[in-house]
Every structure is written in C-alpha cells, then in structure tokens.
Structure 1
C-alpha cells in the first residue's frame, strides 16, 4: 500500500497529523471523509504520482492516527476552518505554497474552507459527493433528513452518539476488506475501534451543525466565493443527484470562475470503488493549463 510513499507526522496548527506523501511535480492534497483515514486514497495516490504529481494524504485532525485535541462548547477545534489551517501548515512545511486540493465527503468541506480562507494557496479544488455545509442545511428537507439523519444523530450532545457506536463499531460502520483493500481496511478498523477517534469524529459533525454553518453563512452574506477553478464529482450510486438534481448548479453561487461537474459510475467511496475513473476525471480537469498550474509545476522549495 502506497509503495514508494513516505509515512510521517507533520505539524498542523497546534496538532500533529499523520501524513503520507510521495511523487514529484505539482502538489495535490487529498482529504478523506468520514469515517475513513488517509488510507482510503491508496488506489488513487499512486496513479496521480505516476501521472507526475506530488501527492500528500493526511489523516484529518481527530481521524485515524492524527491528534485529537480537547473540544470546547462550540466544537471549534473540529471546525473545518481549524482543519484547513492544519492542512495549510502541513503543505507549507513540505515546501508547497500553492497546490490543488481534492476532498471527499467531510474532506470536501475542509477543501472548500481551504479555498475560501486561503485563496493564495489553492490553485484548483475538486469536491467529491458534497455540497457546502451551509447549503446542505439551508436546503434541508424531509428527504435529506431521512437519508442523512446521521448528521443530526452524530451532532447530538445531550444524548451522545459515542455510546451507541462504541458498543459495536463494526455493526455501525459496515465497510469491508474487499471494498477497501486489506491494509486500508485494517487501518480503518483501528480507527473506528478507538473511542477517542469516535468522539473526535462526532465532534466533526457537531462543528458542522454549528460553527461550520456560521462560517459558510457569513461567506454567503458577504458574497465571498471560491476564486480558483472548481470541479464537482458525484457518485451515480449515491444520492447527490436525487437530493439536489443539478449538483454543479448548487455550487455556482459559491464559485467565481470555472466550474466543471460530472458523475462517476461508483458508490459513495469512489476512491476505493472507481479509482481509475476518478483519476481520469481529475487529470482531465487539471489538463486545462493556467498560469497558476504552470507556477505549480516549479519544484517545491526545500525546507530544513
């Protein structure tokens, strides 16, 4: 798994993240979703490296083997703004001042926040099976509540979900080794059987219902948008199209420039289920050369 990649721990903003990185060329940051770790990218990262990219895959704070800081009443340590700050620190520590971001599921919200908060750092962003948190909650209806009820269950504090999940993590999270690959599955199982990780993942959702929505709503009020090119990909065997119809259309008010969108023939975890199709779509999107991408092809600065 990740042949030729380096596994290390890197400084975020007050936390240390487990990070896998390898390859050479323009830098790409891959951000996983819930309840995965960076290992979800093990079929994608080598393909991107072979195509001429430096690939960086962290465990987001709270997930996998990255640090799990204490929370606060607003759950701000698990906000997407905090997670985006970690990712920026990791990339700069590796010598990448400007890079492309790909985010799946919860990682897509971190990717969005990175592009909004740090436009100088992000040359393009690809979001997989997601619309902005504030947009999802603003549009929430009975169909969304029935399909995505876990958002509200995991986000509870008075009746915390951790007790239910920790009673039988394998019954709650039903991934398989066949789907994920044996090594990635083992890494995932270590994570979901760690009560500290389960708590941190719930904190991610609690932040999503509160402070993350506040940040998104503030951006919409001020007209703040993503300046770099945006790609939206969604799985044909998931429910994004059923919930939103024109998925790229949901993103249009959030983007100031180029917006591309297309489906991937896959279930929700497309990095595991359809890695070749996903990589083909990413490379096609990145194929339109821009001044930013030309600059990104310069070698990374070396740091001590």
Structure 2
C-alpha cells in the first residue's frame, strides 16, 4: 500500500498522530470513519497523488495507532473540535497552510468541524455519507433509530458496549464476512483488524460517539444559533447502496443551511466507498478539488 508515501508519528500539541503523506501540489487531507484507520484510503490516495495533489492521511485520535488521551465526563478529548485541532496541527507540521478536507462517516464530522472552526485554513470541504450531527439527531425517527441503534448503545455512560465488542470484536465488526480481506484489501484489513482487537482503541472509538451526542451536539447548536456557516465550497457525496437517501431524501438540501456553497451527488457504492468504488470516488474528488 501507499507506494512512495512517508509514514510517521507526529506530535501535535502533545498528541501523537499517525500520518501517511505523499505527493506534490494542492494539499488534501483524508479522514476515515468508524471503525477504520487511514489505510481505508489505500486505493484513493495514490490516484490523487498521480492527479497532482499532496495527500495526507491520518488516524483520528483514539483510532488506529494514534494517541488515546484519557477522556473526561464531557468526552471533550474526543470532540470533533479537538480532532479538528489535530488535523490543523498535522497540516501545519507538514507545511500546508491551506488545504482541502475530505471526510467519510465519523471523519466527515471532523472535516466539517475543521471548516467551521478554521475557515482561514480550509479551501474546500468534502463530506461523505453524513449530515451534520445536530441534523441527524433532530431528524431522528423510527427508521433512523432502527437502522442506527448502535449510536445509542455506544453512547451509554455505563460502557456496556466495550464489554460486548471486546468479547468478540471480529464477529462484531464482520471481520471475515462484510469486512473480509477480499473486501478491504489484505493490508488494509490487517490494519483494521489490529485496531478492533485493541480494547483501548475500541473504548476511544466509542468515546467519539459519546462526544457526538453531547459536546459535538452543543457545538453544532451554538454555531447554528450564531449564524455561522461553512464558508468554503462544499461537496456532499453519499453511497447510493447505503441508506442516506432513504433517511434524508435530498441530502444536499440538509447541508444547504450549513454551507455558503454546496453541491452533491450519489456514488454507486455501499457505505465504505473508498474501498467499494474508489475509481468513481476519485473522479468525483478530482472534478471538485
């Protein structure tokens, strides 16, 4: 994977972040979702380098081999604001003052928080398979609750999810069926497997969800109340073989109140589009970026 890329561990304000980067040109940072690591981009990142971009992939804090800070009662160390600070710190360390941010799933929450909190740094934003956290919670109905029940399970303060998942992480995360080596690619699968087998990583991934229902929700509400919007051009992408259209109808319309300028379309894929249909995803990213 990632021929010609550099893999290193960067210290960002005392937080260790695993980073892989390569290429020259306009900078773009790729942010993975749950329960992946940065290696989910293995088929996308080299194509973007070939297209003339400087590409940065990182493990979000708590995920993969990035640092795992001790949490608090508010789950603030796993807020998207804290993770956005990591993104900006990594890009500064690599010499990229202005950059595009592409995020999938949980990574998309970090991506749009980076654009909201650091508008002077983010030139373009791509959000994949998501709507803002506050929108998801306010629009939650029976269909969402049935399909996305894990949000509420993961968020329980008593932490039963850690016990359940860590008892058999490979079955929980479909490591040999839906998320098999054939589906993910063998090296990407090995990195995914190492992550889900680590109880500390599982705990931190769940803290990400707990932050989503608490501090992240409050931050979104504060931004909306203050009239803050994403200032850079934004592209919303969604997997047409996932449930975004069934849950939200016009996904772009959900994003429109949050963005000064937004467009979007579906990609013929299941949820993890960087692995399922990387070529179509790259075409969409190249055209927008």
Q: With structure 2 as the length reference, what TM-score do the two structures score? A: 0.98
Equivalent residue for 1:231, pick from 232, 235, 252: 235
Q: Does 1:275 align with 2:278?
A: yes
| 2:46 aligned residue | 46
* Paired residue total: 285
Greater shift in the superposed pair: 133-142 or 225-234: 133-142
Pairing of 1:190-201 with structure 2 (within 5 A): 190-201=194-205
Q: CA-to-partner distance for each residue in 1:59-97, whole Å, 9 max, x for gaps? A: 000000000000000000000000000010000000001
| 1:302 aligned residue | none
Greater shift in the superposed pair: 95-104 or 159-168: 159-168
Pairing of 1:62-77 with structure 2 (within 5 A): 62-77=62-77
| 1:179 aligned residue | 183
Q: CA-to-partner distance for each residue in 1:33-59, whole Å, 9 max, x for gaps? A: 000000000000000000000000000
Structure 1 gap ranges (5+): 287-304
Q: Does 1:220 align with 2:224?
A: yes
- For 1:74, what is the secondary structure of its paired residue? coil
**Separation in 2, partners of 1:285, 1:7:** 27
Following TM superposition, by how much is the alpha carbon of 1:11 offset from its aligned partner in structure 2, in angstroms?
2.1
Q: Does 1:157 align with 2:160?
A: no
**Contact 1:234–1:263 under 8 Å retained in 2:** yes
Q: Does 1:252 align with 2:247?
A: no
- For 1:161, what is the secondary structure of its paired residue? helix
| 1:127 aligned residue | 127
Q: Does 1:166 align with 2:170?
A: no
Structure 2 gap ranges (5+): none
- For 2:123, what is the secondary structure of its paired residue? strand
| 2:211 aligned residue | 207
- For 2:25, what is the secondary structure of its paired residue? coil
Greater shift in the superposed pair: 149-158 or 115-124: 149-158
Following TM superposition, by how much is the alpha carbon of 1:230 offset from its aligned partner in structure 2, in angstroms?
0.3
Pairing of 1:292-303 with structure 2 (within 5 A): none
| 1:93 aligned residue | 93
**Separation in 2, partners of 1:109, 1:48:** 22
| 1:55 aligned residue | 55
| 1:11 aligned residue | 11
**Contact 1:11–1:86 under 8 Å retained in 2:** no
Following TM superposition, by how much is the alpha carbon of 1:159 offset from its aligned partner in structure 2, in angstroms?
4.4
- For 2:165, what is the secondary structure of its paired residue? helix
**Contact 1:29–1:101 under 8 Å retained in 2:** yes
Following TM superposition, by how much is the alpha carbon of 1:10 offset from its aligned partner in structure 2, in angstroms?
1.1
**Separation in 2, partners of 1:282, 1:94:** 22
- For 2:21, what is the secondary structure of its paired residue? strand
Moved over 6 A (4+): none
| 2:264 aligned residue | 261
| 2:116 aligned residue | 116
- For 1:18, what is the secondary structure of its paired residue? strand
Q: With structure 1 as the length reference, what TM-score do the two structures score? A: 0.93
**Separation in 2, partners of 1:250, 1:132:** 8
**Separation in 1, partners of 2:141, 2:13:** 36
Following TM superposition, by how much is the alpha carbon of 1:112 offset from its aligned partner in structure 2, in angstroms?
0.5
